[in-house]
Structure 1
């Protein structure tokens, strides 16, 4: 008896509907999912430390304590830096409100002198409220406070994962020997995520140091703050460079003028082209395995689901989804090739030549 399969269009529509339900469900519990993914990514990043200790015969508690302390120091250090940055922004923003109004007035006079309508300019100027500068600083401070509210949950999750890591590693190693597709896909996800984090962090630090030096020479206030922002924005695909550029360029305009703003833009563009466009792809290689379009879509989707943390973790989240949904299914190789924008290798059956020769 022949079983009639469902139409492909129906399968696609049901799949899209299921994906939307999952994404909106994750968005509703983003306060838990975000810290969970962040803890998982941090545990994956320090996994080589635990493996190194295990190979040297260290005790289990040492294999748990050392990676956990490393993650805790990194997390507390980043939270402290962001808190100081938010406080400094809150103190700095009101001082430039008057300067912002003066620049708008000068721009209005410059435009009217060249025949642009005054009413259109007034409407445009009204849309640029100087109080929004303070609001941005306050929202950033509120976001940092939100991170601190979830800090306890992140630490507990990291500790739990570190405690389970030795047993989990042995289970995964035993599964790899049996060629289990899901286990191999999760292993590739961990390796790709770790390589992505290491390479992005190294080049992010290089980029941040160059930015700090350039901003210090130009005379832009708070160069260390903008260097930290450049490091964090380095994990945001496609638009991270713009996010890191806009605040110091705007501050240079308010503090010194157009010339300094153009110098900041030029310095950031040069550093970004050298590190992100020329050097980073050579070292990162195919670690990500996502096309440019899929990378941009992943940024939009995960930022919508998890907010700013989703934008920072967009690549690891997409790699995890790819491992669970595509890499674990041998029949979905074509989908993996489509997402990575790399055509799959064409394999010729071993008996095809002999069959043709004997025909």
Structure 2
């Protein structure tokens, strides 16, 4: 009994029969990897002003690339096709910049008109808090903190922060110029590398398809939502309908919380303009439009191109917004698609994580015997 117990205890001794170095090297590898990741993230955050515009140029190039393929089928010269693709990308940038600029200007001229209404609303809020038994000093602190002038500045800075994404237009335009004329060569090189490195090349192709589908569908439905919102707000008598339409278009690229960001400013202006009834009407109209278009129709059109669970999409939004700022929030899904392609899809050993990222079980593949049948 003693020998058997000793043998049993000896069998369970650390490292006696386990693979040599199976515990400590894994811990060391994990710590080294975590440290390397921390340093890499710190480096990316320090150069966010460069990484963000470069990735924006890459996404724009990928998005308009199918047009180049169609032009090439007409036997159009390669240089002309590249030039037309570049002009289209520039046109998208110019239109978006003009819309945001006009929106910021209109918002800056609109909000000062409601200074008195904001003051009265804050006073009513203070009276309501007093009726609930809140200490007067705390009420005074809240009322003093809500300065109409500062509110105007915050509201303007919201759209201005989005506009700042495109402030360095010269840099984005230059990067787009090189990418547009390098697209064909890059495509040929990837085709040649496909035989030697099929998994990484297929992963990059998957990223391109997913990013193109997401950006195209988001832009299309964002435009539809913006037009509907703008027209409805105009007929409801809410000032700044064009501003809120542009905001609805931009926030359609922000997953999960884009609708909430887009509805708060027009609802606040509706409260100041027509009282709680108009504010409630704006919220109801926005909710109906968002539910029908963004929650029912848009996901069906996108299909499984993105392949992320709702939780992971939200966490990616938070992460990329923290790392790259406003541009990271707008491009959170394409950035996550590229990360998944490089870290998961390009490595056959890591593809087991794809169902976890998508939040659903993939369709069963036929067994070899079934395939032969």
Question: TM-score normalised to the size of structure 1?
Answer: 0.90
In structure 1, the residue matched to 2:176 is: 158
Q: Which region of structure 1 is more displaced relative to structure 2, 91-100 or 69-78? A: 91-100
Which residue of the other structure, out of 114, 117, 123, is the alignment partner of 1:105? 123
In structure 1, the residue matched to 2:5 is: none
Aligned partners of 1:272, 1:142: CA distance in 2, in Å? 24
Give the deviation of 1:126 after TM superposition.
2.5
Asked if residue 240 in structure 1 is aligned to residue 262 in structure 2, the reply is no
In structure 2, the residue matched to 1:80 is: 98
In structure 2, the residue matched to 1:308 is: 326
Q: Which region of structure 1 is more displaced relative to structure 2, 114-123 or 314-323? A: 114-123
Specify whether residues 78 and 347 from structure 1 end up closer, same or farther in structure 2 by C-alpha distance, changes over 3 A only.
Answer: closer
Specify whether residues 261 and 138 from structure 1 end up closer, same or farther in structure 2 by C-alpha distance, changes over 3 A only.
Answer: closer
Asked if residue 193 in structure 1 is aligned to residue 208 in structure 2, the reply is no
Aligned partners of 1:225, 1:266: CA distance in 2, in Å? 19
Specify whether residues 112 and 45 from structure 1 end up closer, same or farther in structure 2 by C-alpha distance, changes over 3 A only.
Answer: same
Say which SS state the counterpart of residue 343 (structure 1) adopts.
coil
Asked if residue 61 in structure 1 is aligned to residue 79 in structure 2, the reply is yes
- 1:245-299: CA deviation from partner (whole Å, max 9, x where unpaired): 1111111111221111111111111111111111112111111111111111111
Asked if residue 340 in structure 1 is aligned to residue 340 in structure 2, the reply is no
The CA RMSD measured in Å over matched residues stands at: 2.2
Say which SS state the counterpart of residue 253 (structure 2) adopts.
coil
8 Å Cα contact 2:97-2:163 kept in structure 1? no
In structure 2, the residue matched to 1:298 is: 316
Q: Which region of structure 1 is more displaced relative to structure 2, 113-122 or 51-60? A: 113-122
8 Å Cα contact 1:90-1:134 kept in structure 2? yes
In structure 2, the residue matched to 1:92 is: 110
Aligned partners of 1:302, 1:34: CA distance in 2, in Å? 10
Question: TM-score normalised to the size of structure 2?
Answer: 0.87
Q: Which consecutive unaligned segments of at least 5 residues does structure 2 have?
A: 1-18
Specify whether residues 284 and 348 from structure 1 end up closer, same or farther in structure 2 by C-alpha distance, changes over 3 A only.
Answer: closer
Give the deviation of 1:189 after TM superposition.
0.4
Give the deviation of 1:143 after TM superposition.
3.5
8 Å Cα contact 1:104-1:125 kept in structure 2? yes
Alignment size in residue pairs = 350
Give the deviation of 1:14 after TM superposition.
3.2
Aligned partners of 2:39, 2:321: CA distance in 1, in Å? 16
Give the deviation of 1:72 after TM superposition.
0.4
Q: Which of 1 and 2 has greater Rg?
A: 2
Say which SS state the counterpart of residue 286 (structure 1) adopts.
coil
Counterpart mapping for 1:228-307 below 5 A? 228-307=246-325
In structure 2, the residue matched to 1:123 is: 141
In structure 1, the residue matched to 2:34 is: 16
